[in-house]
Amino acid sequence: MLLLGVDVGGTFTDAVVYDGRTLHTAKAPSTPADQSEGVLAAIEVALERAGAAADGVEAFAHGMTVGTNALLEERGARTALVATAGFTDLLDVARQDRPHLYRLCAPKPDPLVEEELRFGARERVGPAGVLEALEEREIERLVDGLAASGAESVAVCLLFSYLEPAHERALAERLRERLDGVHVSASHEVLAQFREYERCSTTVIDAYLSPLLGRYLGRLAGATRERGLPEPMVMMSSGGVAPAAEAARAGAGSVLSGPAGGAVGAGLLARLSGDGDVLGFDMGGTSCDVCVVEDGSVRQAVAREVGGRTIQLPMVDVHTVGAGGGSIGWRDAGGALRVGPRSAGSEPGPAAYGRGGAEPTVTDANLLLGYLDASSRLAGGVALDAGAARKAVGGLAAGLGLSELEAAEGIVRVANQEMVRALRVVTVERGIDPRAFALMSFGGAGPMHAAAIAAELQIERILCPRASGVLSALGLLASDRRRDTARTVMLSAEQLGAPRIAAEVEALREPLAEGLEAARVEVVYELRYRGQAFELAIPGPPDPDPIELVEAFEAEHERRYGYRDPEGRVDLVTVRVAVIEPGPRPRPRAAAGGKLARGARRARFEGAWVEAEVLRGEPPAGTEARGPCVFELPEATLALPPGWGARVDDAGTIVAERG
């Protein structure tokens, strides 16, 4: 049985083939113009290294950045919005908060729907039902106007449709009948929840991205079919995979497709090489993603902003900063050294890649400091040019009044602080002590920075998987098949009866279960004290005891906020349901002996040059080393300063401990 996972990053596309015991990995440069080209190139190399044919692949899981990039670069479909008359400017009004508290004039991103593509529907639904009916002639007027608008996609978001979707359903059905080739996203299908702005924003993003994803996944599925590969299963933001055709219809649900794979991979290796509690630290070529894994499971979030735009859908709780191996060092107007968020990407890439890049990056700094070896090729066959790196860093150093080495050390320190800040966001700022976790470093660049970041956070243990450079692709292999939905129910304390709650859960579960009849069901109940503005998420069974559910909420409220209200009435606001079919559970093993070469070279740690042992290749289980040392793995490099010791476990993970 062969399992195939392919993850697209900003610089490289990673592929993993697992044959039941051994991981066969490959990297190919990403192809931003058409990501499927890089995907197919990486697959070809990985299958060749595995000595396998495409028709032997049983399952193919894919993580992508198509939706993320399109949203950040604002190059999705030409999208129209149909909203209740008088509410067409909802995306402009949004929430009355500022992106930056002390920057009064900081702009928000422009709405994805232009003013001329906003259509007001003469209808009205209130919390008690229909107030003004949506007439047949009004539907015809809207359909005619949208047909003439040239829109490629339509988002329909009417008031209170999460309670009574009849108007939305009628309009969406007519649009799908009449507008051939135009995608339609209806808010009661995308996000049947209250909070009008969040529902509208999520529905518009879904409409904006779905046509683009449909075209991309259609091309990819056709190309893989021609090569004898199975249809790809696509990683969704929730941390589960879905068939390509299903993912193509839900553009907003895959915006975090890439980072989700890394988080799942971190959970898999945390269970195999530790107690399951790690801080995931994924540093690639363009960005750094961090997450918290507890007992082998990644924390979940129900909403987040991407590029300043709100998406209120289930997703892995990953925080991203613009600090990667390709992040560019620069001097700001005040003369300070800054790093990122602008990146050299895959073309031209860092100056050290020798592809025409002239600006200094984190990779160039790591080469000058001895963590990378100019005589070795990086994953993907990239040869390093130390002269080009020195010239790029030297240009920045001159502007800062520093030496080349001082500038290189400064670039690394500044990048490290960006990543430490990201880890503090998901730990300290949320009441989690990072010292209680191991740091799992992965991504092509992550292990080079792990020791410095661990020291800053007082973490004593680092886990570096053998496949750390392609861990996101490995995580895809281990992902469950998953479907999620939610609905705002607004049940008051007086309505919290066991039969009513169970009926709401079953109504949500039934449409999800088609084809997944044997899947397990996970339910989360969002509750609050009456009068509060926000809810707390409480996991529970599909048929909970209302008294136990309220007690669990009050205990969590006391844990989170330090008190409970004995006189408060507890309301159930939203029910979230997921059906989950467990995916494969690969158990990679360490490489057999005889594949490790040992040497030495100078590397710079804590401002001094030292002779560091170099271990090149795949270390077998039981391999030991003490810092200063550098592990040159097939797709990543782990640099350990003096004071650290490391040992390779049976899964091939390098377990490093301070002292």
Report whether pLDDT(292) > 90.
Answer: yes
Of the pLDDT bands very low, low, confident and very high (cuts 50, 70, 90), residue 346 is low
Residue 91's domain is classified under what CATH number? 3.40.50
How buried is 585 (Cβ within 10 angstroms: 0-12 exposed, 13-18 middle, 19+ buried)? exposed
Mean pLDDT of all residues belonging to the chain? 91
Q: Let me know if residue 105 belongs to a domain.
A: yes
From the list 287, 263, 397, the residue with the least C-alpha distance to 343 is 287
pLDDT of residue 415: 93
Residue 430: count of CB within 10 angstroms of its CB: 12
The structural domain count of the chain equals 2
Q: Let me know if residue 83 belongs to a domain.
A: yes
Q: Which sign does the torsion angle of CA 56, 58, 63, 66 carry?
A: positive
The structure tokens 């430490």 sit at 420
348 prior amide bond cis, ω within 30: yes
341 prior amide bond cis, ω within 30: yes
Q: Which residues of 236-254 are buried (b: 16+ CB within 10 A; e: fewer)?
A: bbbbbbbebebbbbbbbbb
Q: Let me know if residue 166 belongs to a domain.
A: yes
DSSP secondary structure letter of residue 107: P
pLDDT mean over 345-351: 80
Report whether pLDDT(466) > 90.
Answer: no
Report whether pLDDT(378) > 80.
Answer: no
Report whether pLDDT(640) > 90.
Answer: yes
Tell me the pLDDT tens digit for each residue of 210-224. 999 999 999 999 999
Retrieve residue 131's tokens: 């107030």
Q: Let me know if residue 488 belongs to a domain.
A: yes
Report whether pLDDT(391) > 90.
Answer: yes
Distance CA 259, CA 46 (A): 21
User: End of a domain among 213, 234, 266?
Assistant: 213
pLDDT of residue 651: 87
Task: Report how far apart, in Å, the C-alpha atoms of 392 and of each of 88, 341, 376, 424 are.
Answer: 50, 18, 20, 31
Tell me the pLDDT tens digit for each residue of 588-603. 887 776 678 899 999 9
Of the pLDDT bands very low, low, confident and very high (cuts 50, 70, 90), residue 380 is low
pLDDT mean over 18-40: 86
Residue 545: count of CB within 10 angstroms of its CB: 13
pLDDT of residue 381: 67
- Which residues, other chains included, contact 454 with Cβ-Cβ below 8 Å and sequence gap of 6+? 439, 460, 461, 462, 658
Q: Let me know if residue 366 belongs to a domain.
A: no
Structural domain span for residue 537: 481-581
Of the pLDDT bands very low, low, confident and very high (cuts 50, 70, 90), residue 523 is very high
User: End of a domain among 543, 558, 581?
Assistant: 581
The helix (H) or strand (E) run that includes residue 144 is: helix 136-149
- Which residues, other chains included, contact 650 with Cβ-Cβ below 8 Å and sequence gap of 6+? 589, 590, 621
pTM here? 0.88
Report whether pLDDT(101) > 80.
Answer: no
Q: What percent of the chain has pLDDT over 70?
A: 99
pLDDT of residue 403: 93
Whether residue 238 contacts residue 484, with contact meaning beta carbons closer than 8 Å, is answered with yes
Q: Let me know if residue 154 belongs to a domain.
A: yes
Distance CA 641, CA 603 (A): 9
pLDDT of residue 349: 83
pLDDT mean over 305-317: 88
Q: Which residues of 482-496 are buried (b: 16+ CB within 10 A; e: fewer)?
A: bbbbbbbbebeeeeb
User: End of a domain among 196, 213, 230?
Assistant: 213
Q: For the chain, what's the residue count?
A: 659
CA-based radius of gyration for the chain: 26
How buried is 622 (Cβ within 10 angstroms: 0-12 exposed, 13-18 middle, 19+ buried)? exposed
pLDDT mean over 246-251: 91
